[in-house]
Amino acid sequence: MKISFLLHNGYGIGGTIRTTFNLAGALAGRHDVEIVSVLRHRERPHLTLDPRVRMRALVDLLTEQDDPRHGRPSRVFPSGDTRRAQYSELTDERIAAALGTVDADVVIGTRAGLNIHLARQAPDRVVKVAQEHLTLDSHPSRMRTAMRRVYHRLDGITTVTEADAASYRRKMRLPRVRVEALPNSVPQPVLPPADGRARVVIAAGRLHRVKRYDRLIESWALLAERFPDWQLRIYGHGPERERLRQRIDEMALNDQVFLMGPATPLEAEWVKGSIAVMTSEFESFGMTIVEAMRCGLPVVSTDCPNGPREIIEDGVDGLLVPVGDPRALAAGLERLMADEALRQHMGRQALGNAARFDPVPVVDRAEAMFEDLVAARRGGAPRRAGGARRGIGAALVSRGHAVRDLTLAAGAATLKTVRRER
């Protein structure tokens, strides 16, 4: 198959870019894969892209920023998408031309606004799949209205959690559009995993209010006196940096809490720690949780909608704590900081359990879905609603079991398992 991803800006840093690069690279082993980046703002991508994957930009902001068409608002990209201000008459023109002449078998949109373009402008001869990296309920009502108007033209929708897939099936009412949960994938790190002995806790992500690093700093203040030789390292950049810096100063935590800035790749930093922490009020998935677990770190995370509870097994490979409760977060961190044997055991469990997010099982599921949809498109067979597929065949690793058969039908997922050989 020839597979094309439509991405907002492949030259930036972010979870959607990372997971698109990961999936594209995994698919490139067996397929012809390209990424079409709507925007380009620098010469080279920040993140490393598999050399087998081609990437091209539709609008080069290095040379076209002052094009008068780019100063006029888009007529297609919806106002409900937070990237609306970056889209224009020029992006309308370029996206329409790219979709109108695409020679791919499958075109995959990677954000809601681009999925609107895909549904409206891609020809019927191609399979159209909308990836959802947020959640249905996180979109404003005007965005959901725009989606309902055109999403029936799609062939498939993928979400990053089963909870969100169920929400799409229940609320969007698209009986001829296949909906499947397809989690983000994270490749196996090239570095040896953490050994649990370092007295370092690591958090990573955009410094944005929804991540609630302010509460993490408050929680650390409750631990600082008991654990004076421990450090909290926060990686990332964003609009909250100065406010967080002031909070660290106010609480006299400068010797223990450090704003490290962005780091790419992050795995070299994860393995320097022994515990990961995530404090968001909302996560559509939780890419950093998987990244930390793949490096052998147990994760203390808020039990926020929707992703953490589908990744972490509470008390086994990490801990889930209530949202908005600094004392509960501090208690979770304290439990692991005070017990090296426990955090080493949970770290080993995290390393094993996170293997189910390896690109191999994830790409097998994606590939099976795309092949079904291409066959239906070419043969005129009715598309199966709700993600109906039997016998995907990938041996997924889940909670100490090997999943030999994955049945996704009518909005429910049934895992038939056999015990792993030991």
In one letter, which amino acid is 344? Q
CATH fold for domain 200-356 = Rossmann fold (3.40.50)
Bridge pairing between strands 412-419 and 401-409: antiparallel
User: 13 pLDDT exceeds 90?
Assistant: no
* pLDDT at 266 > cutoff 70: yes
- Measured N-to-C along each axis, helices 241-250 and 213-221 cross at an angle, to the nearest 10 degrees, of 10
Structural domain spans, the chain = 2-181, 200-356
Q: Is a pLDDT exceeding 60 seen at residue 242?
A: yes
Fold match flag (2-181 vs 200-356): yes
Other CB atoms within 10 A of residue 83 CB: 16
Q: Using the predicted structure, report yes or no on whether residue 358 has a pLDDT greater than 70.
A: yes
Closest CA to 299 of 289, 313, 307: 289
Give the homologous superfamily in CATH for domain 2-181.
Glycogen Phosphorylase B; (3.40.50.2000)
End-to-end CA distance of the chain: 37
Question: What local confidence, expressed as pLDDT, does residue 250 receive?
Answer: 96
Task: Report in angstroms the alpha-carbon separations of 188 from 94, 162, 251, 288, 327.
Answer: 36, 23, 38, 14, 34
Joined tokens for residue 226 = 């008991």
Question: For 175-179, 281-285, 385-389, which range has the lowest pLDDT when averaged over its residues?
Answer: 385-389
Mean pLDDT of 279-294: 93
pTM attached to this predicted model: 0.80
pLDDT on residue 283: 87
The pLDDT assigned to 382 comes to 47
Answer whether residue 70 shows pLDDT above 80.
yes
* Torsions phi, psi for 283 (to 5 deg): -145, 125
- Using CA atoms, how far apart are residues 132 and 174, in angstroms rounded to an integer? 15
Each residue of 319-356: pLDDT tens digit?
999 999 999 999 999 999 999 999 999 999 999 999 99
Which residues in 27-58 are b (16+ Cβ under 10 Å) and which e?
bbeebbbbbbbbbbeeeebebebeeebebebb
Q: Which two tokens stand for residue 415?
A: 């895992």
User: Please, which residues bridge with residue 204 across strands?
Assistant: 235
Mean pLDDT of 20-32: 94
**Number of CB atoms found within 10 A of residue 416's CB:** 11
Residue 413 has pLDDT above 70, yes or no: no
Average pLDDT over residues 385-406: 35
User: What number is the average pLDDT over the span 115-131?
Assistant: 97
Question: Side-chain half-sphere of 311: how many Cα atoms within 13 Å?
Answer: 40
Res. 121: pLDDT tops 80: yes
Mean pLDDT score of the chain, rounded to an integer? 89
Residue type, 91: T
73 secondary structure, DSSP code: B
- Which among 378, 365, 366, 372 is positioned nearest to 126, based on CA atoms? 378
User: What is residue 210's DSSP assignment?
Assistant: G
Model confidence pLDDT, tens digit, residues 139-162: 999 999 999 999 999 999 999 999
**Predicted local distance difference test score (pLDDT) of residue 414:** 28
Q: Residues 256, 231: contact at Cβ < 8 Å?
A: yes
